[in-house]
């Protein structure tokens, strides 16, 4: 399947600079400002609401009297047929939820989209920051364009799936794939021509109208009525059962609707295959039913692939481009990862590692990704320049200071060279800090700030094994 983004597909890139901002920094516009003002002054409004509730409890309020001696008996009201109780008796029973379709015998694995991973690796190298791997996995799950779905049979008895080559859609039967091709991708395979014909003759007392789209379906006794209902359901409302869809069709008897249907029937569509062998006669298909038969007999063998092995598709499966059971299986897999994205984080880490990004653990065993693994610089064994040593000394004592304050303090450690400028001093500090970051002596954690790598604790010696 072609995974190239279309004009309607949003960018696959994740803006790490925006994603790891604090919540207050992401707010923008007047609505966010109004929300902050409401939160700030909300306490002043609460006494007024409390006073209002106290007023409602005063004797002057018009609350209905409670049941008591001499008071109205609500059970007596119900026996006498009060209106509220009548409504409750007429209430219809709640409709039981429809059972969700289930696809047995197949497993789904969620994989990061390779082009999105490339964008993540590029940003990690550019920002020189360390990001929590599991938070990156959650960012991947935010949009289906950022991941792929790999369907794999769980056992030898798994039913076959069918994929339409033209758009990569997945179906549990060839009939579903054929219907999708004819209703959604008709122009991919056939040319449509409209011709004028005589309108239907005879008198009709009513015409059917779709209760969900207002499309006129024609009189129930017309020869193509059933076919129209089936096609419209398959094309636009396949997510609901067919019988439920039919129950929403209503009959209209006004002359205007009947006349409009007659006018629509005076224009007829004819269809011709786009690809016809040179020595074959041009085939004219009178209606969509003929188109479906032609597609099934002549094009399905090459346009639809029967799958018995794994297949990978985009995570963006819109309504109507896969069987309901397939969409349900994919939705469950994604929802499970949103609770704990272990498998996706593992796959994302492998993809980033293959692109030169380092993976390590820090801060209570949190997994991070960055351009370099942290390593301690022993300045007694390997002396460094005064500027580098000053940065390390400061960061060792101010690991929890906000990043902006860290930068200002590091900058103040370096005096402006004689005859130099502030920009030259800043450039010199940036070069030293960049060297420490790329070598792993300093780590810039996205959620925390700059930290100098400390001397590792000595590992406890193992006790010698007891002699037997």
DSSP of 123-158: HHHHHT-BEEHHHHHHHHHTSGGGEEEEEEESSTTP
CB neighbour class for 441 (10 Å; exposed up to 12, middle 13-18, buried from 19):
buried
Secondary structure element (H or E) that encloses residue 445, with its range: strand 442-445
This prediction has a pTM of 0.70
The tens-digit pLDDT sequence of the chain (468 residues) is 444 444 344 456 788 888 887 655 555 544 444 444 434 434 444 444 444 444 444 444 444 444 544 454 544 444 444 554 554 455 555 555 566 677 889 999 999 999 999 999 999 999 999 999 999 999 999 999 999 999 999 988 899 999 999 999 999 999 999 999 998 899 999 999 988 877 887 788 898 999 888 888 888 888 888 888 888 887 788 778 888 888 989 998 888 888 888 888 888 889 999 988 777 788 899 888 899 999 999 999 999 999 988 899 989 887 678 888 999 999 999 999 999 999 999 999 999 999 999 999 999 899 999 999 999 999 989 999 999 999 999 999 998 899 999 999 999 998 888 888 999 999 999 999 999 999 999 999 998 999 999 988 877 777 776 765
Report the C-alpha gap between 271 and 287 in whole angstroms. Answer: 7
Which residue ranges make up each domain of the chain?
106-160+309-353, 185-286, 372-452
Q: Which of 357, 196, 363, 203 is nearest to 266 (CA)?
A: 196
Report the C-alpha gap between 253 and 208 in whole angstroms. Answer: 9
C-alpha dist (Å) from residue 73 to 57, 94, 167: 22, 30, 67
Q: In what order do the strands lie in the sheet with 358-362?
A: 131-132, 366-370, 358-362
Distance of CA 200 to the CA centre of its chain: 47
Q: What secondary structure letter does DSSP report for 298?
A: I
């Amino acid at each position: 399947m072609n995974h190239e983004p279309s004009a309607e597909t949003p960018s696959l890139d994740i803006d790490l600079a925006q994603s790891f901002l604090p919540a207050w920094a992401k707010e923008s516009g007047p609505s966010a400002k109004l929300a902050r003002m409401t939160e700030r002054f909300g306490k002043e409004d609460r006494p007024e609401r409390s006073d209002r509730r106290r007023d409602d409890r005063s004797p002057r309020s018009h609350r209905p009297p409670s049941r008591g001696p001499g008071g109205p008996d609500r059970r007596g009201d119900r026996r006498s047929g009060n209106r509220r109780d009548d409504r409750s008796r007429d209430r219809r029973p709640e409709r039981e939820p429809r059972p969700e379709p289930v696809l047995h015998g197949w497993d789904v694995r969620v994989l990061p989209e390779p082009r999105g991973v490339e964008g993540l690796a590029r940003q990690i190298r550019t920002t020189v920051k360390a990001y929590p791997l599991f938070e990156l996995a959650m960012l991947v799950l935010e949009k289906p364009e950022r991941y792929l779905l790999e369907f794999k049979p769980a056992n030898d008895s798994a039913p076959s799936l069918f994929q339409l080559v033209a758009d990569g859609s997945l179906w549990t039967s060839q009939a579903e794939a054929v219907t999708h091709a004819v209703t959604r991708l008709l122009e991919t395979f056939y040319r449509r021509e409209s011709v004028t014909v005589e309108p239907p003759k005879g008198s009709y007392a009513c015409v059917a109208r779709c209760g969900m789209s207002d499309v006129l379906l024609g009189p129930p006794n017309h020869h193509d009525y059933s076919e129209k209902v089936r096609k419209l359901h398959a094309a636009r409302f396949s997510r609901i059962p067919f019988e439920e869809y039919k129950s929403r069709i209503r009959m209209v008897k006004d002359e205007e609707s009947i006349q409009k249907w007659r006018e629509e029937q005076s224009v007829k569509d004819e269809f011709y295959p786009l690809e016809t062998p040179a020595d074959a006669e041009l085939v004219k298909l009178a209606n969509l039913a003929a188109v479906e038969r032609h597609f099934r007999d002549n094009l399905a063998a090459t346009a639809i692939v029967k799958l018995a092995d794994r297949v990978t598709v985009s995570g963006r499966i819109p309504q109507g481009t896969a069987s309901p059971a397939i969409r349900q299986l994919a939705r469950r897999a994604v929802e499970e990862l949103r609770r704990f994205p272990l498998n996706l984080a593992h796959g994302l880490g492998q993809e980033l590692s293959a692109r030169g990004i380092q993976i390590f653990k820090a801060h209570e065993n949190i997994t991070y990704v960055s351009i370099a693994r942290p390593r301690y610089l022993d300045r007694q064994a390997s002396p460094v320049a005064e500027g580098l040593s000053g940065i390390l000394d400061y960061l060792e004592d101010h690991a929890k200071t906000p990043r902006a304050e860290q930068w200002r303090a590091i900058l103040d450690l370096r005096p402006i060279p004689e005859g130099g400028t502030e920009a030259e001093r800043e450039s010199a500090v940036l070069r030293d800090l960049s060297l420490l970051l790329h070598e792993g002596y300093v780590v810039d954690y996205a959620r925390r700030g700059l930290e100098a790598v400390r001397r590792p604790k000595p590992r406890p010696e193992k006790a010698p094994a007891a002699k037997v």
